[in-house]
Amino acid sequence: MRRSMHRIGRDVRERRHLDAYVVALTACGIAIVSAVADVVPQQIQWSAMLAGIGLLVFRITLPTATDASPEELLQDRRAFDTMPLSERLRDARTVWIFAPSGVGLLSPATCQLLRTTVLSRPDGVVRVIVMDPHETAGMAVASRQLDDSTDFPLERLPESLARVTAQLRLMSAWTTDGTFEFRRLGFNPGFSMLAIDAGTPSGTVIVEMHGFHNESIDSRPHMELKRTANDRWYRYWADQFLRMWEAADPATTP
């Protein structure tokens, strides 16, 4: 019983299955009142019953969530090009990004896309975390992990981080309806992340694992988590970003 109440409470907080709970609560209320005193007109009782049956039939037609196989859950970067970033950000209100340098995602085209989508909305928020170039120990380890362990590197971490950081500083000075912030973390936790509308039921979190060795950056494994299908691990990774954001330093120094 306690587990069921916890599940219902979480569904209500996350605004899931609200239609079912409203109909069920209404039907229970009518049933209780009718049992105590015959004060509910029969027409209303029939309406509530038909609404419940209609909702039940509708839910039967919905596709059931199934656990994805490892092959379906883990893909490389090429697999996520099937849905362009412009489509992912079309209605987005919140975007979180963490990457050691951000060079793979924060291209000039992507930054302009953020400006014309998320940052064009008064409630739009973009938060970016990259590595802190002043943390020499963390940078040395990250460079060894990301640069030296890749067979066919195209860029080096220090140079790409410097370029992206300069770009982020320019973005911080933009005049937009939305809010843009970026911070710097002293070490690489071993993954990169893109979260879109993480606090909503329709949110998406994409995580890239860096690993120990890669042929190229495109071969790194990615997993895309939907809140509706992977609630436990979705919340885990969203919490990772929030904790990193709290631990990261605001980018106030050059």
What residue segments make up the domains of the chain, in order of their start?
A: 2-61, 70-250
Q: In the prediction, which pLDDT does 221 show?
A: 81
Q: How does residue 68 score in pLDDT terms, banded at 50, 70 and 90? A: low
Q: Which residues pair with 128 in a beta bridge?
A: 97, 182
CA distance 106 to 73: 24
Nearest to 134 by CA among 99, 165, 106: 165
Pick from 128, 99, 97, 123: which is nearest to 179 by CA?
123
SS3 254: coil
Residues 86-121 have pLDDT tens digits of: 999 999 999 999 999 999 899 999 999 999 999 999
CA–CA separation, 230 vs 221, rounded Å?
18
CB atoms within 10 A of CB 119: 22
Closest listed residue to residue 185, CA positions, set 146, 142, 155, 224: 142
Tokens 């860096």 sit on residue: 210
pLDDT score of 61 more than 90: no
Pairing outcome for strands 249-250 and 179-185: antiparallel
Query: Which tens digit of pLDDT belongs to each residue from 159-216?
Result: 999 999 999 999 999 999 999 999 999 999 999 999 999 999 999 999 998 888 878 7
Place of tokens 């990615």: 222
What CATH number was assigned to the domain covering residues 70-250? Answer: 3.30.870.10
pLDDT reported for residue 197: 96
Instruction: Say which residues have a Cβ less than 8 Å from residue 173's Cβ, sequence separation at least 6.
Output: none
pLDDT at 64 over 60: no
Q: Which of 104, 120, 131, 115 has its CA nearest to residue 170?
A: 115
Q: What angle do CA 188, 228, 225 make, to 5 degrees?
A: 25
- DSSP code of residue 222: E
Instruction: Give the pTM.
Output: 0.72
CB 202 within 8 A of CB 228: yes
- The CA distance from 201 to 198, in Å, is 8
Pair 214, 149: CB distance under 8 Å: yes
What is the arithmetic mean of pLDDT over 122-144?
95
* Res 254 pLDDT > 70: no
Indicate the pLDDT class of residue 7, thresholds 50, 70 and 90.
low
Q: For residue 146, what are the contacts with CB-CB under 8 A and spacing of at least 6?
A: 100, 157, 188, 210
Name the token pair of 206: 């994409």
